Amino acid sequence: MKQSGSVQQTLRHTALGLTDERAVEMYKTMMLARRFDERGQLLQRAGKVNFHISGITQEPSQVAMGFAMDLKNDWFLPYYRDYGFVLSLGMTVKELMLSVYAKGEDPNSAGRQMPGHFGSKRLRIVTGSSPVTTQVPHATGFALAAKMRGEPSVAIVTFGDGSSNQGDFHEGCNFAGVHQLPVIFICENNQYAISMPLAKQTRGRICDRALGYGFPGIRVDGNDPLEVYRVVKEARDRAVAGEGPTLIEIMTYRVTAHSTSDNDLAYRTKEEVDLHRGKDSLPVYRKYLEDAGLWSEEQEVKLQADIRATIDEGNEYAEKAAFQPVEDAFRYVYAEQSGEER
């Protein structure tokens, strides 16, 4: 296929060190996350699962984050909307479906927690908990351990704009700044903390808070995944070089309700949501690949069919899988005693 458009436009990924194959794989992962998210909403509406929390339109920036990291050495502490992020780290649709159905084989929590509480020892994804922002100080702990051991690993932690107002955020940033830790703090600013708009919860730019802790803060357009990739990659390079943490504020928008238990039109208008839905960067990135001669309509048709089959397979498997046995309800809750009881 011939390239069209300006060379500067179509070769942005090459300038960032991304091969053509990796640039295309980013798009495939974004689309997989989108279709999985859509299926999760349908399953909840059909009464097959109890709960779903969506990250639609945030997938391009989430995938870009994952592609900028070292999957073999880094530590990942995602928040509950990060389907695109965890898929880019190697989590499978089947594993996510097991979580949605709360089945015993769910690698995240064996069905103990709601969907979105990601965790995988295999993928170096640190288990998350329900209280928001607790993953931030945990990330600084992983970064401190890496620094003490002399390991070339970086901890990356994500959270929403509402979390940036919690004490755990400030404590984590302060500790990381004092000790110059290899950690990347990423605020996925989607303009709402559950039902509270940004203007009523935050004064000024969240990224500017980094100045008070002695490290860089950067704001980036979440509708530009290649720019997100660049910024996160540079932050990782800084961290590995011993230059300390970075706070990145990704400007995005939540076009879906906070969760399937939320009526978002009680606190915002349909016109506002539709405006932002029209800024969806997924078709924009597809157009970029087409202009670069890396994607075609034929490839798109095949991709959609492959994704549909993958999701169908994962859904069928998870729906038939067994729940965790009742006798295992307290497994991992209490430590097993060894030796003589005292």
Residues with a known catalytic role: 254, 258, 267
- SS3 at position 247: strand
Selection from 213, 188, 191 nearest residue 201 by Cα: 191
Residues with Cβ within 8 Å of 30's Cβ and at least 6 positions away in sequence, in order, are 59, 60, 63, 84, 225, 282, 285
What's the rounded Cα separation, in Å, for the pair 188 and 170? Answer: 16
DSSP secondary-structure letter at 268?
S
What's the rounded Cα separation, in Å, for the pair 193 and 195? Answer: 6
What's the rounded Cα separation, in Å, for the pair 266 and 49? Answer: 24
- SS3 at position 69: coil
The CA angle 183-188-191, to the nearest 5 degrees, is 150
What is the helix (H) or strand (E) element at residue 218, kind and residue range? strand 217-221
- Rounded to an integer, what is the distance from CA 2 to the centroid of its chain? 34
